[in-house]
Amino acid sequence: MIPEIGHFSLILALLVALSLGFLPIIGAARGNAVWMGLARPLARTQFLLIGFSFLCLGYAFATMDYSVTYVAANSNSKLPIQFRIAAVWGGHEGSLLLWALILSVWTVAVSMFSKHLPDDMRARILGVMGLISVGFLLFMLMVSNPFERLIPAAMDGRDLNPLLQDPGMIFHPPMLYMGYVGFSVAFSFAIAALLGGHLDAAWARWSRPWTTAAWVFLTIGIMAGSNWAYYELGWGGWWFWDAVENASFMPWLVGTALIHSLAVTEKRGSFKAWTVLLAICAFSLSLLGTFLVRSGVLTSVHAFATDPRRGVFILAFLVIVIGGSLLLFAWRAPTVGRGGKFDVVSRESFLLANNVLLAVAAISVLLGTLYPLFIDALGYGKISVGPPYFDTVFAPLMTPALFLMGIGPIVRWKNASLPELAMRLRWAFGVSLATAIILPLLLGNLTPMIGLGLFLAFWIIATTVNMVYLRLRGQDQPLFTRVKAIPRAWWGMVIAHLGIAIFTLGVTIVKGFESEIAVRMAPGDVAHLAGYDFTFNGVKEIQGPNYTASRGEIRVSKNGVERTVLASEKRLYTVTNMPMTEAGISPALIHDLYASLGEPLVDGAWSVRIYHKPMVEWIWFGCLMMAFGGMLALSDRRYRIKKRAKNLAEMSEKEVLA
């Protein structure tokens, strides 16, 4: 009964979404205040209905209702409860429901925090979000219904893919979806601006916090995914340029560009049309990413053949959303107006360079991800484009981007003097260059790539420190007051940029200095790597809730002093009969020691992989710093004061009317 109620609730949600998608937008076009006013209650109703539907599916998972096809396919009675709940989004249908739920959450959030927007704009924004929701709900109800019954019911479920039975599964997908779907807000703002034909600094200021919020979630989501892959796949890699990863990285690149171009639109009124285009692209890539990952098209183009209706629906939806919004853009973009003029050397042109580089990077990822699919779909054979392509492309694209990042924030708007900049930054340049040469020499490995990576990381740090120092010095107030006097958005930028530096440092060091061995180890054998001795203690059989495992212990010591013990497991999940490796990792600021069991050989010996990963944790720490910088920017007072002032104005207006 409960699944049917959930299904019914989803149908009601579709009706509400349809009303939300049409009535307020028509109302805005006709100046009908009542129809525009419907947007807010409809957004809330939609959230309640989808939320209820989601709870129904969660209930079916929690109570192990294997008469529901989706539950039977992605769960099992032996699956621990936290994974049984996370299994709600473990497959195609449920993850679409999560997507729709998160879209309704963002819609409600916009309806709550948009009291300061003009009525027609708010109506249009919520209306566009309603239309997106219609697409997803239709898709679910027509071809991907998570509540479909299985008759006769299964005795037990087929279990969640063991790879997904991990705490990462609980956080990573919701975070990532919060990011993907969050860009729908920026998208809706852009479409609303195109429909309404006015796009000014206020529009940019309203869009900024939403875009930043989505970007923060996406950053955390990608970081969590990368970290998960690192410890779960047992190969010690943290980024594989896998199509699934690329699908999340493309909206991130474009979203980052969008954050920066919004800044120009707000402060200087320039880049208007470009900002709108980026907002459209960021969300289009999010949609593309969702479908690439969820439709099965990546595992094989022919996966579409299993249910061609899905493929047709997805393609049609993408064409309508992307094609429609681009057409609207081509038609209406001239109405948004041109921005102020700026010089060749100015903050505007630095931000323009940032935008172009990020956009080109996104295009290069898109090419590498989609081209093999096209070739395959057209029947020209199978090719793959691996990490070497992306590595080759990214180094030359990111080098100027990171270098300009050190200069951009201190350049004046409109026009600046190059010699003056050179004077100001000569020390930062010298210090970072010297560090980039001396440090690798001390560590005993100087290659061009290590030197370049370190130079860029220290360059960003040195220029940022210089910028903070100049902004804080020379006043007689106490330091704390001076720090507080500067807007949080600025500090957010400082921290996010330092996060990039930390990230770059981590990537450079781990790529330049990591080492690994694969060895055959019998109990008592010792392997040597990076000055450490790894002693294999042999394997014990253990029993997990839904798996059996061989657990191997490896003692790590240096100069006879024991440092840590790594425990790696080779699990066999009994329901799916799938083997899985759990790596044993000892994470630390300086380096990770990482061991994973390979295969059992004769006489209790195993093949074992051991990795030494210097400063690998800095990669994820850098991402967290970026996300924290974004959060700090979100908490900036100016986003709130304006609202309060507007509220006061509205209130006094009401008083006058009364």
Partner 1 sequence: MALKARHKRFVLIGIGLALIGLAAMLILNAFQSNMVFFYTPTQVEKGEVPKDTGFRIGGLVLENSLKRQDDGLTVHFVITDTAKTVPVIYKGVLPDLFKEGKGVVAQGKVGADGIFMASEVLAKHDENYMPPEAAEALKRAKEQGKTLVMPTT
**Residues lying near partner 1 in the complex (CB under 8 A):** 161, 163, 234, 299-302, 341, 343-344, 349, 352, 356, 360, 363-364, 367-368, 371, 376, 381-386, 388-389, 392-393, 396-397, 518-520, 576-581, 598-599, 601, 605, 607, 609
* Run of H or E including 309: helix 308-318
Helix (H, G, I), strand (E, B) or coil at 342: coil
Measured from the Cβ of residue 552, the count of other Cβ atoms closer than 10 Å reads 25
| In the complex, least distance from residue 385 CB atom to partner 1, rounded to whole angstroms | 6
| In the complex, least distance from residue 341 CB atom to partner 1, rounded to whole angstroms | 7
Cβ atoms of residues 188 and 109 within 8 Å: no
| In the complex, least distance from residue 609 CB atom to partner 1, rounded to whole angstroms | 5
| In the complex, least distance from residue 616 CB atom to partner 1, rounded to whole angstroms | 20
| In the complex, least distance from residue 292 CB atom to partner 1, rounded to whole angstroms | 14
d(CA 291, CA 95): 11
Cβ atoms of residues 64 and 157 within 8 Å: yes
Instruction: Indicate the residue among 126 and 160 with the shorter CB distance to partner 1.
Output: 160
- Residue 636 DSSP code: -
d(CA 219, CA 179): 8
What single letter denotes the amino acid at residue 426?
R
| In the complex, least distance from residue 438 CB atom to partner 1, rounded to whole angstroms | 31
Instruction: Indicate the residue among 385 and 446 with the shorter CB distance to partner 1.
Output: 385
CB environment 610-619: b (16+ within 10 A), e (fewer): bbbbbbbbbb
Residues 6+ apart with CB under 8 A from 620: 223, 226, 227, 238
| In the complex, least distance from residue 596 CB atom to partner 1, rounded to whole angstroms | 8
| In the complex, least distance from residue 403 CB atom to partner 1, rounded to whole angstroms | 13
Instruction: Indicate the residue among 392 and 647 with the shorter CB distance to partner 1.
Output: 392
Instruction: Indicate the residue among 184 and 256 with the shorter CB distance to partner 1.
Output: 256
| In the complex, least distance from residue 299 CB atom to partner 1, rounded to whole angstroms | 6
Cβ atoms of residues 194 and 225 within 8 Å: no
Q: Which two tokens stand for residue 517?
A: 């061995």
Alpha-carbon radius of gyration of the chain: 27
Helix (H, G, I), strand (E, B) or coil at 527: strand
Instruction: Indicate the residue among 302 and 640 with the shorter CB distance to partner 1.
Output: 302
- CA dist 631 → 209, 390, 465, 626 (Å): 9, 30, 21, 9
Instruction: Indicate the residue among 323 and 579 with the shorter CB distance to partner 1.
Output: 579
- Residue 320 DSSP code: I
Instruction: Indicate the residue among 275 and 581 with the shorter CB distance to partner 1.
Output: 581
Instruction: Indicate the residue among 299 and 652 with the shorter CB distance to partner 1.
Output: 299
| In the complex, least distance from residue 486 CB atom to partner 1, rounded to whole angstroms | 31
Cβ atoms of residues 218 and 248 within 8 Å: yes
d(CA 198, CA 191): 11
Measured from the Cβ of residue 601, the count of other Cβ atoms closer than 10 Å reads 12
Instruction: Indicate the residue among 202 and 375 with the shorter CB distance to partner 1.
Output: 375
Instruction: Indicate the residue among 363 and 565 with the shorter CB distance to partner 1.
Output: 363
Question: Which residue, chain included where needed, has tokens 């102020």?
Answer: 340
Candidates 458, 575, 534, 414; CA nearest to 73 is 575
